[in-house]
Chain A
């Protein structure tokens, strides 16, 4: 059966006319679809925004950063691999520094639990971190005042320290604190620099956490034996990040004498792995949102089917007349199917607009990492595709009913 372009144009015009003539009913009917589409697009917009913020954060954090931690291999009993075998030792870090050409910078990082004293303040629970001068590069944190750590500080085990602003405030040091003296673990340290604070909402490091940094060689002295240390490193660029990780793994296995086939007693991690994990999580949430939408679209579809059945019975005489002037069953079927699809697309359109508005609203929430919330084009496309599919699926039965009406009986209908 052939239908002309003019037929399609008129059928769509008629469908729009029907929706307009029954405005209120149309909106109520497509409420299920409106809500479904609006909530998904809003969730997708929020996720998109969150993803953009998180990735940006990772970027600013340094996508080329690599960490090495002590780690007990899976499925190996505790007593087989004692702590001392896993623990990273300073000489191992020096081996890594020498044996990994793809690294730009590397530093051990160790946190020690000691009290910090100034002239009129005693602080507990403040973190004192031992670092090499390379730390400035691996963390991309420079000094605002004073100077950075130098290799001489490290080599000579100088009693110097760097503070962040929160620590300066907490210790009530004069001015920016540089040139003051504080007591760390009972030893007198000179404050040589004020280190910049990195704002990271997501990783729990804020301007309000006090930080004190001392040369690593000095930190070792203040530590009990068998202390914990991790390694932070920076690959030369993003391209060699993978290579750098492999170099680290090989070097570690070599210096620890791990036999081929035996598991690693350490763990190498890179930021991009976290990015992958986050992306997987975001995809998961999107899938769940899509599932919820599927259900609400189903409910919406039943509403559409109901209203289309009402429409068919209200317009029985009209259907009879259309058949009398030459409409084939296929033409009537197509006309009602199009009407259901147009109604669903209308619901989808309102839903997308609501989702878009919600997305705009989200960007104004203070403090939330949703500055970049927006409904992506693919979500708009998918919303319309789903709406149309619901129209076809749930409009088919009423349309079939209309197409099968007997013209004479339809015209006799009251």
Chain B
């Protein structure tokens, strides 16, 4: 599903060069659920942005669904984001003036799929909302929804086009712990239905929903273990 080799990312700030990722190898198979952890500044978001095709690596190779992404044009990347990637953000990023349903339908505006009827679009959006268990709030606007409900709308939007990979950068960062667990249950359910999931988090109990934990340090992989090994390793330390 995801095949990354020697991935590097260098930011240039004035004269200074910041090495956010320094030669990183990573493979994620179909229907895995992986947590990415690490201290602040270790390069988690940078990695996510590259995997999510929002950014391009400075060096190294990246294949998504056995297609090389590294050399794609801006338009091709946009199409990949639209069809293959679902992104969930810490701060939800919903459009304030649109209803939950309209927010979920958003990716279809940029889809190249032709001949979709509005009934079909609606059906897909409602199905996505059903999968995040939010069918009773579809005509509400974001400011009429709780944080957890907003994040569910955002997840529904991310899974609308049945992406190859569902990515979330600290999806529970703005939520209380009860709501966080509700959201993680949804991710777990989606994973059980066959969705590949990649989640960045700082919390071990959030990572505990995943089967595999990748830890980063200074733009390199520190450890890449199953959840059981990772938990055991932490206990030792």
Contact = CB atoms under 8 A, between A and B. Distances in A.
Interface of A: 1-2, 4, 6-7, 10-11, 17, 21, 317-318, 320-331, 407-408, 411
A326 B93 contact: no
Contact of B54 (A318, A322, A407): A407
B109 A324 contact: no
Contacts of A328: 74-75, 78-79, 110
B108 interface: yes
B144 interface: no
A411 B94 CA distance: 12
A258 B113 CA distance: 84
Interface string B59-101: 0000000000000001100110111000101000101010000
Interface in B104-147: 106-114, 116, 121
Contacts of B52: 324
Given A411-B89, A411-B93, A322 B110 contact: yes
A2 B89 CA distance: 28
A318 B95 contact: yes
B87 to A, nearest CB: 5
Given A4-B111, A6-B116, A7-B110, A326 B97 contact: no
Given A407-B54, A408-B49, A2 B87 contact: no
Nearest to B96: A318
Given A326-B78, A329-B75, A4 B89 contact: no
Nearest to A5: B114
A146 B121 CA distance: 87
Contacts of A331: 78, 109-110
A324 B111 CA distance: 13
Contacts of B111: 4, 326
B74 to A, nearest CB: 6
Contacts of B55: 408
A16 to B, nearest CB: 12
B107 A325 contact: yes
A325 B81 contact: yes
B216 to A, nearest CB: 18
A328 B82 CA distance: 10
B75 A325 contact: no
Nearest to B160: A325
A325 B97 contact: no
- Place the interface of chain B in its size category: 20 to 34
Contacts of B8: none
18 contacts: A1-B75, A4-B112, A4-B113, A4-B114, A6-B108, A6-B109, A6-B116, A11-B109, A17-B97, A318-B95, A321-B95, A325-B157, A326-B78, A326-B83, A329-B78, A331-B110, A411-B89, A411-B93
Given A4-B112, A17-B97, A330-B75, 4 more contacts: A21-B97, A326-B111, A327-B78, A411-B93
Contacts of B93: 317, 320-321, 324, 411
B123 to A, nearest CB: 15
A51 B49 CA distance: 67
Given A407-B54, A408-B55, A329 B109 contact: no
A10 B95 contact: no
Contacts of B97: 17, 21
B81 A322 contact: no
Contacts of B81: 323-326
A10 B98 CA distance: 12
Contacts of A330: 75
A4 B93 CA distance: 24
Nearest to B84: A326
B110 A325 contact: yes
Contacts of A325: 81-82, 87, 106-107, 110, 157
Contacts of A324: 52, 54, 81, 87, 93
Closest 5 CB pairs of A and B: A326-B82, A326-B110, A328-B78, A325-B107, A321-B93
Contacts of B79: 326, 328
Contacts of A323: 54, 78, 81
A10 B75 contact: no
Nearest to A318: B95
A152 B69 CA distance: 108
B136 to A, nearest CB: 24
B89 A322 contact: no
Contacts of B54: 323-324, 407-408
A407 B80 CA distance: 14
A11 B106 CA distance: 11
A408 B46 CA distance: 10
Nearest to B158: A325
A246 B52 CA distance: 86
Contacts of A2: 112
Nearest to A326: B82
A265 to B, nearest CB: 79
Contacts of B87: 324-325
A322 B116 contact: no
Contacts of B121: 6
Contacts of B78: 323, 326-329, 331
